[in-house]
C-alpha cells in the first residue's frame, strides 16, 4: 500500500434476518429474536481490500448501534492506513477513550459494541491485506506485539503488561506444533441447535439425534422458563443422546441468586456440564454466591459481560468455571485478547459464545489464536456452534466431525455475501417488504 493511503469511507448497513418467524434462537429471556447485524465496511483510498465488521443484535435497536458506529466516523476517516493497521492498540485507545463518546458507556453497551465493530472491521482489513486468515495473523505476532494490542488500564491489580509478556513468552515454544494440530484436527465445537425453548419435544429429540450423528460431544439446552418443562426436556435429551454425550444448560439471566440455587439443585441430577448465565451478567458477587452454593456444578457466563473489567472481577471472585467471551459484545479483537490473557492468568478455560448471525465465523479466530499463543490448550474448551445463517457468509465456518476447521481465506470471516444487502436491509429489503410472499427465509 502507498504510505499516503488514508481510510476514506465508512458505510453502515442495518441488516436483519427474520428468524423470529421460526423461533430459532428463542430462550427464556429472548423470546422472539430477529438476528441482526449493525454492519460496517471501511474503505481506503488506495483501492486495497476493505474491512468488514459488525455488532450482533436481535432486532429492534439495531439502528441504535448503527448510529453508534457512525458516531466514530469522524475519528476514523482520514487516518493513515499504514499507521493505523501497524498500531491497532493505539487505534483501540483512541476510539474507546474518546473524551466525549466515553460518557455513553463508559466501555459498555451500544457505544462499546460500536467501537468493537469498527475495531474488528479494521482487523479484517489488516488480515486481508496481509493475505492471511485472522487467527494466523494474530498467532504470528510476537509476545510483545500482542501485549501492545492490549489496554491494561484497570487490569494491573491482577495482570500487568510484564506478567502478560512472561505468560506469552512461556507459551511461545510449541506454537508451530499447535498450528499443525489445529490444521489437522480443527477446534472442538458444541451445539445449541437442538435446545431452543421454542422447539417442541419432538423437534428437540430429533435434533439431539442429529447432533450426536454429526459428532458433537456436548449439547446445550435452554432452561429457566418452567422447571417441570426443563426437567422433562433434559430427560428426553438424555434419553436421546445416551450417557457419553454431555448436556449443558443455559438460563439466559433468568434467576435471582436464591432462585438460581434452588433451580440448579433441581437440575443437578441430570448432570449438567455447566449452568450458563444463571443471573444478571453484571452480578459478579451473585455468580460467585451461586457457584459456591451449587458446587460441584459448574457455572459459565460472559456473552453479556460488558467489558474486560467485569471479566477481571468474575475471575478474581472465582465466580465462573468457564469464560464465554463474545466476538461483538466487547470492543473487538483487542479487548478479547485482554480477556484471553486474563483467563489464562487464572487458568479458566474460554468457551466462546456464538450462534446468532456471524458469531461462529468471528469467534473461531479468537479460540484458535488462544490455543496457539495464549492458553496453549484445547482441553476443556469448546466453541458454541449453531447451524444457522452461515450460508450468507463469503467464508462460512466449516464443521467437520464436531470441530471447527481452521479458516484459510484471508480476513476475519465477517463478510456477508453481496446478495444479503438487498434482501436483509431493514426495513426496505425484500425479506421484510415481501414478508408475506416469502414466509420462510431461514433454514
Interface residues with a second copy (CB under 8 A)? 29-34, 57-61, 63-68, 71, 74, 98-114, 153-157, 253, 256-259, 279-286, 289, 304, 306-307, 309-310, 312-313, 316-317
| Of 71 and 409, CB closest to a second copy | 71
Say if CB 367 and CB 403 are below 8 A apart.
Answer: no
Neighbours of 4 (CB within 10 A): 10
Q: Active-site residue among 112, 128, 220, 222?
A: 222
Supply the minimum distance, in Å, between the C-beta of residue 126 and a second copy: 26
Task: State the minimum distance, in angstroms, from the CB of residue 145 to a second copy.
Answer: 23
Let me know if 222 is a catalytic residue: yes
* Closest CB to a second copy among residues 39, 371: 39
Cα–Cα distance for residue pair 398/389, rounded to 1 Å:
13
We find the least distance from the C-beta atom of residue 22 to a second copy, in angstroms, to be: 16
Bond from prior residue into 173 cis (ω within 30 degrees of 0): no
With cell 466501555, the residue in question is 107
- Which cell is 130 given? 496481509
Shortest distance, position 247 Cβ to a second copy, whole Å: 25
CA distance readout (Å), 98 to 4, 102, 106, 185, 281: 25, 6, 10, 42, 25
Q: Shortest CA distance to 322 belongs to which of 272, 360, 362, 372?
A: 272
Q: What is the rounded distance in angstroms from the CA atom of residue 231 to the CA atom of residue 369?
A: 38
- Smaller CB separation from a second copy, 13 or 371: 13
In the complex, least distance from residue 313 CB atom to a second copy, rounded to whole angstroms? 5
**Spatial separation of the C-alpha atoms in residues 248 and 234, rounded to whole Å:** 10
According to DSSP, the residues that pair with 383 across neighbouring strands are 189
Q: Which residues contact 185 (CB under 8 A, 6 or more apart)?
A: 403
Looking at beta carbons only, is 33 or 272 nearer to a second copy?
33
Closest approach, Cβ 279 to a second copy, in A, equals 6
Do 53 and 91 touch, CB atoms closer than 8 A? no
Contact criterion met (CB below 8 Å) for 39 and 12: yes
Whichever of 97 and 238 has its CB closer to a second copy, that residue is: 97
Which of residues 165 and 246 has its CB atom nearest to a second copy in the complex?
165
Q: Which of 108, 112, 353, 365 is catalytic?
A: 353
388 is catalytic: no
Catalytic residue positions, numbered: 222, 353
Amino acid at each position: 500500500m502507498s504510505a499516503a493511503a488514508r481510510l476514506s469511507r465508512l458505510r453502515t448497513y442495518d441488516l436483519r434476518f427474520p428468524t423470529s418467524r421460526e423461533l430459532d434462537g428463542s430462550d427464556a429471556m429472548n423470546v422472539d429474536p430477529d438476528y441482526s447485524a449493525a454492519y460496517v465496511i471501511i474503505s481506503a483510498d488506495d483501492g486495497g481490500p476493505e474491512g468488514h465488521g459488525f455488532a450482533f443484535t436481535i432486532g429492534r435497536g439495531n439502528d441504535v448501534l448503527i448510529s453508534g458506529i457512525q458516531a466514530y466516523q469522524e475519528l476514523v476517516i482520514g487516518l493513515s492506513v499504514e499507521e493505523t493497521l501497524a498500531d491497532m492498540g493505539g487505534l483501540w485507545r483512541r476510539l474507546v477513550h474518546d473524551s466525549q463518546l466515553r460518557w455513553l458507556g463508559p466501555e459498555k453497551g451500544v457505544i462499546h459494541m460500536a467501537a468493537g465493530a469498527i475495531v474488528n472491521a479494521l482487523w479484517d482489513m489488516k488480515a486481508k491485506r496481509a493475505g492471511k486468515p485472522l487467527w494466523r495473523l494474530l498467532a504470528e505476532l510476537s509476545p510483545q506485539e500482542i501485549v501492545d494490542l492490549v489496554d491494561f488500564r484497570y487490569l494491573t491489580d491482577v495482570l500487568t503488561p510484564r506478567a502478560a509478556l512472561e505468560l506469552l513468552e512461556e507459551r511461545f515454544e510449541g506454537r508451530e506444533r499447535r498450528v499443525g494440530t489445529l490444521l489437522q484436527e480443527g477446534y472442538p465445537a458444541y451445539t445449541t441447535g437442538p435446545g431452543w425453548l421454542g422447539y417442541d419435544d419432538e423437534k428437540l429429540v430429533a435434533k439431539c439425534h442429529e447432533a450426536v450423528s454429526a459428532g458433537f460431544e456436548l449439547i446445550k439446552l435452554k432452561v429457566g422458563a418452567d422447571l417441570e418443562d426443563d426437567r422433562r426436556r433434559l430427560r428426553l435429551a438424555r434419553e436421546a443422546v445416551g450417557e457419553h454425550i454431555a448436556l449443558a444448560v443455559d438460563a439466559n439471566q433468568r434467576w435471582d441468586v436464591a432462585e438460581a440455587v434452588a433451580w440448579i439443585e433441581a437440575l443437578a441430577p441430570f448432570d449438567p456440564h455447566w449452568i450458563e448465565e444463571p443471573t444478571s451478567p453484571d452480578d459478579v458477587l451473585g455468580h460467585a454466591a451461586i457457584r459456591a452454593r451449587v458446587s460441584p456444578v459448574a457455572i459459565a457466563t460472559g456473552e453479556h459481560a460488558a467489558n474486560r473489567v467485569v471479566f477481571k472481577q468474575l475471575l478474581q471472585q472465582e465466580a465462573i468455571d468457564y469464560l464465554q467471551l463474545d466476538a461483538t459484545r466487547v470492543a473487538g479483537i483487542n479487548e478479547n485478547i485482554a480477556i484471553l490473557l486474563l483467563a489464562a492468568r487464572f487458568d479458566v478455560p474460554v468457551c466462546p459464545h456464538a450462534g446468532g448471525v456471524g458469531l461462529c465465523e468471528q469467534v473461531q479466530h479468537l479460540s484458535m489464536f488462544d490455543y496457539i499463543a495464549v492458553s496453549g490448550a484445547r482441553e476443556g474448551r469448546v466453541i458454541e456452534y449453531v447451524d444457522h445463517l452461515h450460508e450468507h457468509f463469503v467464508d462460512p465456518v466449516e464443521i467437520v466431525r464436531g470441530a471447527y476447521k481452521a479458516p484459510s481465506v484471508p480476513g476475519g470471516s465477517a463478510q456477508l455475501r453481496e446478495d444479503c444487502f438487498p434482501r436483509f436491509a431493514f426495513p426496505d429489503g425484500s425479506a421484510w417488504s415481501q414478508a408475506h410472499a416469502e414466509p420462510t427465509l431461514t433454514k
